[in-house]
Amino acid sequence: MKIAVPMEIRPNENRVALDPESCRKLIQLGAEVAMEAGAGIRAYFPDQAYLDAGVTLVPDPARLLAEADFVAKVNGPAARADGSHEVDLIRPGAILLASVFPTRHLDAVRRMAERGLTVFATDCIPRTTRAQAMDTLSSQANIVGYKGVLLGAVELPRYFPMLMTAAGTTLQAKVFVIGCGVAGLQAIATAKRLGAAVTATDVRPEVKEQIESVGGKYVGIELGQSAQAGGGYAAELSAEDKARQARMLAEHCAVVDMVITTALIGGVVAPRLLDEAIVRSMKPGSVIVDLGADGGGNCTLSMLGATVTVDGVKILAPLNLPATLPYHASMLFSRNLLNFVTAFWNKPEARFNLDWDDDIQKGCCVTRDGRVVHGPTLKVIQARAGE
């Protein structure tokens, strides 16, 4: 089986789907691995490291993808600078493994179905014990939580830790984390390591123990109905619970120095949690780090991909933070892909086995046999058709 890794073409994307070590392991399993020349350079993996691992370097992405049985990417296919589309370069009938976010990229999903591609979205892999090692959402969210705190610390006009100096004592910063999935828990741990006093909230009260385990103090409301969407994801709140949550958020945001939001519904869509009134109630010099920016933003005043200041409150809404730490982000992403491929690898025949009775493959397959088969994506497509 020929596995191909093209260079990522989305703006400011520095990651690569497979690092040299993962390529070496796939080759040992009998796969032929080819990569677009230079694809790993922005992640600090030089071409020579791939050559040493046994990878074939191909300068022409069109030839690379036309000959591939299996394509590994970080992002789903996108339009190229020359007006063509990556989907059109991939051989019909090939398998694609990437972080697709299909409900956000419906045009690409339709193209992939029409091309006859079998597409597995790593962001749709079920959150089960067996699939943990394949979960790119979690591996990349760890980076988001870590880097988001560092960005906020740079912008905050005060220290994080309490410091006792000859000139007097400075009090520690107060950080409030909203949304405590993987990114939120990492944000709590990072802020705590830097010396801040950290409080945190989540619509799923069962995460209280996890918050406390990384050094945070849980705050929350009693929900009228469960906010658990299954698979470790949060669901949307009822109107009553939203109102009660908004009051609680307003109270806490007004007394802290930094707010970090990481909330996503179903791991995809960012709910609007901080409105203009909450922002204007915060202390001058406060900082909001909106880590829900890739999902649309948790703050109504966020400017996605930029930083704005409102009444002395600085609002950061960074996009694609994993790409700012491309070496480790690529290494972890690569391990996730390797674990997915090897879990279904047929060693005697040296190829990837399609198994539609397997819960993982069924759960993350977006298109196959010329059709869109991913349930949530189909619902969005149908809803758009009815508008």
Q: What are the beta bridge partners of residue 243?
A: none
- Of the listed 48, 132, 213, 238, which one is catalytic? 132
Q: How far is CA 180 from the centre of its chain?
A: 14
Instruction: Check whether 232 has a pLDDT greater than 90.
Output: no
- Of the listed 104, 233, 241, 358, which one is catalytic? 233
Instruction: Check whether 302 has a pLDDT greater than 90.
Output: yes
Does residue 297 contact residue 271 with C-beta atoms inside 8 Å?
no
The average pLDDT across 332-341 equals 98
The average pLDDT across 56-82 equals 96
Closest by CA to 361, choosing from 137, 118, 136, 140, is 118
Instruction: Check whether 286 has a pLDDT greater than 90.
Output: yes
The CA-to-CA distance between both ends of the chain, in Å, stands at: 43
- Of the listed 42, 99, 115, 138, which one is catalytic? 138
The verdict on whether 140 is a catalytic residue reads: no
Least confident window among 177-181, 223-227, 339-343, 361-365: 223-227
Least confident window among 234-243, 303-312, 334-343: 234-243
The verdict on whether 123 is a catalytic residue reads: no
166-172, Cβ contacts within 8 angstroms, sequence gap of 24 or more: 172/196, 172/197
Name residue 325's amino acid.
L
Does residue 310 contact residue 285 with C-beta atoms inside 8 Å?
no
Q: What is the pLDDT of residue 94?
A: 98
Enter the tokens of residue 19.
């690092």
pTM here is 0.92
pLDDT tens string 176-231: 999 999 999 999 999 999 999 999 999 888 899 999 999 999 998 776 554 454 45
- Of the listed 63, 91, 104, 127, which one is catalytic? 127
The verdict on whether 19 is a catalytic residue reads: no
Q: What is the pLDDT of residue 242?
A: 77
pLDDT tens string 13-68: 999 999 999 999 999 999 999 999 999 999 999 999 999 999 999 999 999 999 99
What domains can be seen in the chain, in order of their start residue? Answer: 2-134+326-385 (3.40.50.720), 143-319 (3.40.50.720)
Instruction: Check whether 277 has a pLDDT greater than 60.
Output: yes
Mean pLDDT over all residues of the chain?
Answer: 93
The verdict on whether 286 is a catalytic residue reads: no
The verdict on whether 132 is a catalytic residue reads: yes
- Of the listed 19, 123, 135, 294, which one is catalytic? 135
